[in-house]
Amino acid sequence: MSKKITSAFFRVLYWYISKVDKNADITFMNYGYSNNGHEIHLEEKDKKNKYSAQLYNLVASGIELKGKNILEVGCGRGGGLSYIKRYLSPNKVTGVDLDKTAIKFCKKHYEDDGITFLQGNAELLEFENNSFDALLNVESSHRYSAMDKFLNEVHRVLKPEGHFLFADFRHKVELENLHKQLKNSNFKLLSYNKITSNVLEALNLSTSEREKLIPRVFPKFMHRIGKKFAATVGTPTYNKFASNEFEYFYFVLAK
């Protein structure tokens, strides 16, 4: 399936979830992270999303975010950015997503968290040069049609010595090209880690809860799609992580 078709499918799915998820059960849109069952400190209300929050904690821990101006591109339904704002004490926090229904959801549910949400295109960011201390992008870029354009925009809007905190997955055969794109983007590589086994561990631990959630959000004829979207145990996406056909990675880069 082409990235263009995949992106269109996800936009429809986001729209559907926004229509039916009246209780805001789905606030994160990532596969999660677990490291030998270790759990980060979370308030009780956040524990239902602990694996997804732990992925954001990993990404955000690449640098010190306290007091800094942060942009997340591909903020989805805002759970990750809300976690960062409430737990890591940045100064100004902005989230951008292409899907207007997701942004509408974020504005409704996170106004009290002091976050600005804007609809926007990752490949054409509407911000001035040198605007942010750090930019996060979590499990979003695999759907972009022009990764080079996105990287150019990231570099442009970051301040000198600003940081790009980047986590996502790719088919194994695509990784070499991604490394070339990052090398050509003029970023300095500070760290790179493959975390496929940690994502797989999170999926194993969260499958039961995800399968309980699916009937509350999707009608019966869509349960299979819901499981595939959530990458529960035994689904094609889960199996690709299990066989290392998909590799999940985490980069810390500096301008």
Beta carbons of 181 and 147 less than 8 angstroms apart: yes
Q: Quick check: 228 and 60 in contact, CB under 8 A?
A: no
Q: What pLDDT, on the 0 to 100 scale, is given for residue 87?
A: 96
Q: Average of pLDDT values for 167-171?
A: 97
Show the tokens assigned to 86: 């409430």
For the chain, give the mean pLDDT: 91
**Confidence label for 1 from pLDDT (cuts 50, 70 and 90):** very low
Between CA 41 and CA 18 the distance in angstroms is: 29
Domains present along the chain, CATH in parentheses: 3-254 (3.40.50.150)
* Alpha carbon of residue 155 to chain centroid: 19
Element (H, E) at 238: helix 236-242
Q: For residue 251, give the H/E element and its range.
A: strand 246-254
Q: pTM of this prediction?
A: 0.92
Question: Per mean pLDDT, which range of 44-48, 89-93, 223-227 is the poorest?
Answer: 223-227
Task: Please give the pLDDT value at position 9.
Answer: 60
User: Quick check: 182 and 151 in contact, CB under 8 A?
Assistant: yes
Residue 115 has pLDDT above 50, yes or no: yes
CA distance 141 to 252: 15
Residue 100 contacts residue 119 (beta carbons within 8 Å): yes
Q: Can you point out the beta strands (E) in 132-245?
A: 132-138, 158-171, 188-194
* pLDDT tens readout for residues 179-196: 999 999 999 999 999 999
Mean pLDDT of 23-32: 85
Q: Where does the pLDDT of residue 111 fall: very low under 50, low under 70, confident under 90, or very high at 90 and above? A: confident
Please report which confidence band the pLDDT of residue 150 belongs to, taking 50, 70 and 90 as the band edges: very high
How far is the C-alpha of 245 from the C-alpha of 240, rounded, in Å? 5
**Residue 144's closest CA among 96, 214, 94?**
96
Q: How does DSSP classify residue 57?
A: H
Amino acid 181 reads Q
In the prediction, which pLDDT does 2 show? 43
What backbone phi and psi angles, to 5 degrees, belong to 124? -155, 75
| Res 15: pLDDT | 67
Among 160, 121, 133, 118, which residue's Cα sits nearest to residue 68? Answer: 133
Could you give the C-alpha distances from 104 to 81, 96, 185, in angstroms and in order? 15, 11, 32
Closest-CA residue to 193 (of 248, 126, 137, 122): 248
User: Average pLDDT of 129-151?
Assistant: 96
Higher-scoring residue by pLDDT: 91, 21: 91
